[in-house]
Structure 1
């Protein structure tokens, strides 16, 4: 016969209970659960107190521990348990098992069910918390979408088309490694631009005017203007070619039409105006970029790449990269990807969101903008705005460059390599016209039209951001404040003059050569423009942020802080904490770390060395593709 389910002697020897409980019988009763001091009937026999040798709390604890560490009995089959229950009978009080007696038996199973329930609730709570946190992060990230996409436009303008088509036609997919490397350099330099603009509140041109000697500032300004004109020249040529392909507009007329292509749009852009207008402008440029991405996705789906492994192998270094012609094209791709004007653009697009945050929380008064001196703008982001915006701005920039710029540039080269590399005659004189004609003959007129549309939208979006960059250069270096359309007329007039002459007297081949040469000029100018950026971000004096922000008003910002990850402590309380501690640091150093400085030096040395080699090769009469 099986042993009873209860241990008759809690203090006695163990091993006769089929289902030992975690708790002693005296501890798991209605009275004990209600924290009653009245012992049970069995407890009275052993609870006379310490003086009479009764059980104490230590003994109860020992009983529990002994049960916890006891060895389980051999398991009994369910059939024998059922037969044993039937033998007990339900009417005999001596044999019946009451509710109180069953408590320890069912307590273990109930505890297991409770533990499982708590565990399931814990996992459900974790999933709910993760989902809620993800929604908050995504909602905040959406607010920062725009500047990174506008910067990525600079890395997929018509100049990129020209160099990528030439590289794909001559070396098929081998130059994909140069595109990947160029975009990695672009991400690194643009992250420094974003940090410089966020910490100082000034773009790269304004920092040059503030921190560089006058003669050096003028030199950098002249070279920056040359870079802007070379960039605008590429947009002029690309737009003129796309208009000629799509609508049959003569090249010279298309060049002239580029003067007025985006004037109406630029008149609506107000970088210091309401944030809503800035976002609408960013969304418009993003829509143009989206159309370009869709066009090249269609092209890739139509060309039908036979060997996908060969494409991925192109992202690895190869011997073709060190050939003289390969080095020239590599330099052109580098100049077309890491364009100098994009550094000014990237450092000047981050301020509107910082200014919006500081204005909302009382750290900047828009009325101060009317009192700006000729030397320096009055706005400088607070430490709170930087902490709020920098990480999300950085994430948006990196995601945009890696998803948009790399895809479009790689797609151009892959399409050119798949269609032109097997035709030696076409590869030698490859240009935007030839790839259009090849796509049209191989894949049909629709494929050629899609390519021309991508070229047109790239030229339009790139022309917009190039004008904005030119505005930042002229205002930052010289404090000349022009309306964007006036700035557009000046830069386009300087870019149109050579293009118009070439299109009139040389024609299609001359425009292609001008387009490729402009990208090499940009690559040569890149070290000169990037050197001040590296110097500024390495300087501890320039890249320091006051920990105590001057508040223009006292307002509660707890709700905003809770939504963005801040504690409920207000800004004024935070600043007062620093006021109380005289030994607390007054500035936070946000300059580059050791690793970033080393990487900056390596980047500058690599780009400079590549350009010096190119200049020497051209001076010695090397046969380079122009």
Structure 2
């Protein structure tokens, strides 16, 4: 069944001949109401066509700068200065390569990553992969709950315990955006990213960092691997940047474009979708680097090397930068980040559940289910440990994401490297080699982290 063709009932889809390399036909696409809903011009300039593809990359980029990423970047910048900028850069390069493969898989095979795992692997393997993906989404949602609750607390004085509960109401935001069309979801995300970027641009100008040290910070050093504390934060940054659920998300979102069925049209779609995600991820790098630079140029410089709580950042910024505007901008950016990340978590949750096990819940029910799973630990930690506990939970959630990464990256590399599964859209050997190297690095770093903790 072709990627752009109307979906068929499961019994009819199962009767179709299975395309080469796959155990079963794709069946009904994920995000059915949004599938092929955005029209792409068949003729016109390159820029006009690119404009039609701009959007999914920014939803993906939002996941690369969620509140969990803030916690790891702030902790890394305050404790180690600019040294972990190299990790942010390398993580972003990894993300660009992997998202290029996601676009290729989604367009070339007509499947998102969850569907590809379901259609390529037996249930004994596909179901554990689904469970791991759900754990990753819950960890992501946990970070968003805490970040949004802290933003509400800093701006409006809402207690953290109440803010955690209030975050469940964001389901109405998701429903409103989905009701008026996918392009409105993309516009909302781009608007939030614009506000976040402006807030950090002003704060960085106030901080006036040493730009020579900033540039040197992008050069990798062996100290990152040798120092266990630095490696822990580095893995947190890696997990918060190359997030596993984003791989499922992008491979599904590229299919919201109605790009046509022919090979040339699909090849052009892969190219345009890759450009979109690359530009968006470069913006994500600027924001993530800005968070780390802000922490290094204020807290590390002032000797405050143990700053990890987002509330601490808010209270320390005013005296260090000599302006009451800085903490307000920080809180606004944090709240915008939490709200935008919640949209992408919902969409990735739908793709994972529909793709792996073909269970189709109403968006509000799917959202509330995921949020309830994440709210319970967030509420307990907030009640028992307060602000310090939320900071530790944020960083731990990002390390969980890093540990989940191999289970998403390895299948992605396998599928896109397979001529039988991808046909004319198989990934070039250099791209497969780069992605395989990324997978090996992630696995190696995770194993070292586990060994370090086992050995105490």
The bucket for the TM-score relative to the shorter chain is: 0.7 to 0.9
* 1:619 equivalenced with 2:447 (yes/no): no
Within 1, Cα distance between the matches of 2:211 and 2:65?
23
Judging changes above 3 Å, is the alpha-carbon distance between structure 1 residues 262 and 457 closer, same or farther for their aligned structure 2 residues? farther
Q: 1:285: how far off?
A: 1.1
Partner of 2:435: 600
Aligned to 2:280: 400
Alignment of 1:111-130 (within 5 A): none
Question: Which one of 265, 284, 294 corresponds to residue 198 of structure 2?
Answer: 294
Structure 1 residue 448 corresponds to structure 2 residue 304? no
Q: Which of 411, 417, 429 is the equivalent residue of 1:538?
A: 417
Does the CA contact (< 8 Å) of 1:174 and 1:320 recur in 2?
no
The CA distance in 2 between the partners of 1:342 and 1:433, in whole Å, is 27
Hey, what's the Cα distance between the residues in 1 that align with 2:174 and 2:380?
28
Is contact 2:101–2:412 with CA below 8 Å preserved after alignment?
A: yes
Residue 484 of structure 1 is matched in structure 2 by: 363
Is structure 2 residue 166 aligned with structure 1 residue 257? yes
Q: Normalized per residue, which structure has more helix?
A: 2
**SS of equivalent to 1:592:** coil
Distance 1:405 1:614 in 2: 26
| TM-aligned CA deviation for residue 267 of structure 1 | 4.6
Q: Deviations over 1:123-151 (max 9, x none)?
A: xxxxxxxxxxxx92222222211111111
Q: Does 1:434 align with 2:312?
A: yes
Q: Take 2:176 and 2:188, find their aligned partners in 1: how far apart are those partners? A: 14
Question: 1:311 — aligned with what?
Answer: 214
Q: How far off is 1:388 after superposition? A: 3.7
> How many Å apart are 1:220 and its aligned residue?
0.2
Q: TM-score, normalised by structure 2?
A: 0.88
Confirm or deny: 8 A CA contact 1:186 1:337 kept in the other structure.
yes
| Length, aligned pairs only | 411
8 Å contact from structure 2 (residues 88, 288) kept in 1? yes
Distance 1:193 1:177, change over 3 A: same
Paired position in structure 1 for 2:400: 521
**1:560-613 CA-partner distances (Å, limit 9, x unpaired):** xxxxxxxxxxxxxxxxxxxxxxxxxxxxx2212222222222111100000000
Structure 1 residues 58-113: Cα deviation after superposition (integer angstroms, max 9, x where no partner) = xxxxxxxxxxxxxxxxxxxxxxxxxxxxxxxxxxxxxxxxxxxxxxxxxxxxxxxx
1:216 aligns with 2:125: yes
Do structure 1's residue 269 and structure 2's residue 144 form an aligned pair? no
Q: Which whole-Å CA distance do the structure 1 matches of 2:414 and 2:139 have between them?
A: 25
**Deviation of the 1:391 alpha carbon:** 1.5
SS for the counterpart of 1:469 is helix
Aligned partners of 2:308, 2:116: CA distance in 1, in Å? Answer: 41
Do the aligned residues in 1 keep the contact of 2:99 with 2:274 (CA within 8 Å)? Answer: no
Aligned twin of 1:503: 382
Q: Is 1:174 aligned with 2:78? A: no
Q: Write the distance in 1 (CA, Å) between the matches of 2:232 and 2:152.
A: 29
Q: Confirm or deny: 8 A CA contact 1:195 1:390 kept in the other structure.
A: yes
Does the Cα contact within 8 Å between 1:251 and 1:503 map onto a contact in 2?
yes
- Are the structure 2 counterparts of residues 592 and 357 from structure 1 closer, same or farther at C-alpha, using a change threshold of 3 Å? closer
Indicate the structure (1 or 2) with the bigger Cα radius of gyration: 1
| Structure 1 residue matching 2:133: 3-state secondary structure | helix
Write the deviation string for residues 367-397 of structure 1: whole angstroms up to 9, x where unpaired: xxxxxxxxxxxxxx43243034222111111
Deviation at 1:163, TM superposition (A): 0.1
What's the offset of the Cα at 1:445? 1.6
SS at match of 2:421: coil
Output aligned runs, 1:76-475, within 5 Å: 136-269=45-178, 277-305=181-209, 307-322=210-225, 323-353=227-257, 356-358=258-260, 381-402=261-282, 404-424=283-303, 426-443=304-321, 444-475=323-354
- Distance in 2 (CA, whole Å) between partners of 1:234 and 1:181 is 22
Q: Is the 8 A contact 1:192 1:537 kept in 2?
A: yes
Q: Is the 8 A contact 1:267 1:485 kept in 2?
A: no
Runs of 5+ consecutive residues of structure 2 not aligned to the other structure = 1-43
Preserved contact between residue 97 and residue 431 of structure 2 (Cα < 8 Å): no
Quickly say closer, same or farther: Cα 1:268–1:435, change in 2 above 3 A.
closer
Matched residue of 2:404: which SS? helix
Contact 2:81 2:297 in 1 (8 A): yes
Alignment partners' CA distance in 2, 1:163 and 1:455: 14
CA-based RMSD of the aligned residues comes to 1.4
Query: Could you tell me whether the CA contact under 8 Å between 1:171 and 1:320 is conserved in 2?
Result: no
Q: TM-score, normalised by structure 1?
A: 0.64
User: 4+ residue runs of structure 1 moved beyond 6 angstroms?
Assistant: none
Native 8 Å contact 1:154 1:465 kept in 2? yes
Kindly indicate whether structure 1 or structure 2 has the higher relative contact order, using CA contacts under 8 Å at least 6 residues apart.
Answer: 2
> 1:385, 1:505 → 2: CA distance?
56
Gaps of 5+ in 1: 1-134, 271-275, 359-380, 545-588, 622-626
Residues 215-260 of structure 1, C-alpha deviation per residue, up to 9 Å, x if partnerless? Answer: 1001100100000000000000100111111111111100001101
